[in-house]
Structure 1
Amino acid sequence: MPQRQGYHHGNLREALIAAGLELTRVGGAAALTLRDATRKVGVSPNAAYRHFADRDSLQAAVAERIQHDMAAQMRGFQPPASVQEGVPATGSARGRLRAVGLGYIGFALAEPGWFDTAFSHAGALSDADPDAPSARPLQMLTAALDALVDSGELPTGSRPGAEWPCWSAVHGFALLALGGPLQGHPEADVWAAAERTVDAAIAGLLAGS
């Protein structure tokens, strides 16, 4: 099958990733196949092999792109007007960590298909610079925790490994909200529970230090 005009050498890779994003946004990781992605672009399946060895490599590229977008949302997250009094400002170290956690959950609730895809491939995880535009969610979290150390709120000795219980809290909550007992609950109730979960995780982290 001839390539459509505009999809020639040099931008086919990006076109296939865009097709993968479209497929996974609706159907999650299971919806991504090389055949369907190439069909959307208008090329033969064989054309994809110049850029992706197999479905696995395309999935890794799509997951990585989603993580970039997810990190951008976490970076720019602003708490809704309904936040409880006494919650630290987003500009503080503790507020930054809170924003990262709520931004993670917010992305999951808004884009369940992409959230499912984002962590479906280990190849999408990396040690990117947390201050770079291409940072992933994990790097956003580690940077926020490091800021807590810099602010003096978290002792240096309590920092190693702190990302794992924090990440487990928000990731587990997202799964409960998307496919567990919180599924179908009123949006306001789910968000209130998300805030409570993040605040409890932060309080537990600081209390344990």
Structure 2
Amino acid sequence: MAYHHGDLAAALVEAGLDLTRSGGPDALTIRAVTRRVGVTPNAAYRHFPDRRALLRAVSAAIEARMAQGMERGPAAPRASLRAVGLGYIGFALLEPGWFAVAFFGAGDASPESVVDSPAYLALADALDMMVHIGDLDPAARAAATWSCWSTVHGFAELALRGPLRHLDRAELWPLAEQAVDTVIAGLPPAV
């Protein structure tokens, strides 16, 4: 893809998405992105001061795409939470390169940066709705966030890099559903 005037920053992010989709965060270099776009590396530095800044922009684009796949619709809150969890795992399985970039690529996954991620916000919205209708104890809300996130993220990691990586999708998906269903069943309702 050659760059021909317009939004160079967006073109660099798009090239970064192309590179990281199959290669993960290690595939993203300023040189590779600029080569793909057809500009010199110096041109990229006008928009991104370094590789890490470009990686953060690519990660943000990935997280936005991930959140779109986690759309919940007008379902009941527990069903919505289930859709969010399975959407998270499904994205990781379909896009392992992007998943690695989104959660490990930029190296700054502090609790503060996580709470701004679209994936986190989708989870938070589902849990807030459960609290609102009395299906989740408000005192358990904060812990529920990390329990749910740990379950889906841990499952995704086990499926991508751990002992579940050798299972095919037909064997893996029922286990993903069981993991999500189990953590949701363990959430305490309001009393």
Task: Flag structure 1 segments of 5+ consecutive residues without an equivalent.
Answer: 78-89, 129-134
The aligned amino acid for 2:143 is: G
**What is the 5 A alignment of 1:53-72?**
53-72=49-68
Say whether 1:46 aligns with 2:30: no
Say whether 1:25 aligns with 2:21: yes
Partner of residue 163 from structure 2, selected from 162, 174, 181: 181
Q: Deviations over 1:157-176 (max 9, x none)?
A: 11123211110100000011
Relative to the length of structure 2, the TM-score reads 0.90
- Whichever structure has more helix as a proportion of its residues is 2
Q: Which residue matches 2:133?
A: 151
How many residues align? The count is 186
Change (3 A) 1:5 1:159: closer
Q: Deviations over 1:45-77 (max 9, x none)?
A: 000011000000000000000000000100158
In the alignment, the residues of structure 2 paired with residue 208 and residue 93 of structure 1 have an alpha-carbon distance, to the nearest angstrom, of: 14
Say whether 1:165 aligns with 2:147: yes
Relative to the length of structure 1, the TM-score reads 0.83
Q: Give the RMSD, CA atoms, in angstroms.
A: 2.1
Change (3 A) 1:123 1:199: closer
Say whether 1:109 aligns with 2:105: no
Give yes or no for contact 1:60–1:123 (8 Å, CA) kept in 2.
no
The aligned amino acid for 1:150 is: H
Change (3 A) 1:187 1:63: same
Greater shift in the superposed pair: 117-126 or 138-147: 117-126
In the alignment, the residues of structure 1 paired with residue 89 and residue 154 of structure 2 have an alpha-carbon distance, to the nearest angstrom, of: 10
4+ runs deviating over 6 angstroms: none
What's the CA shift for 1:206?
A: 2.8
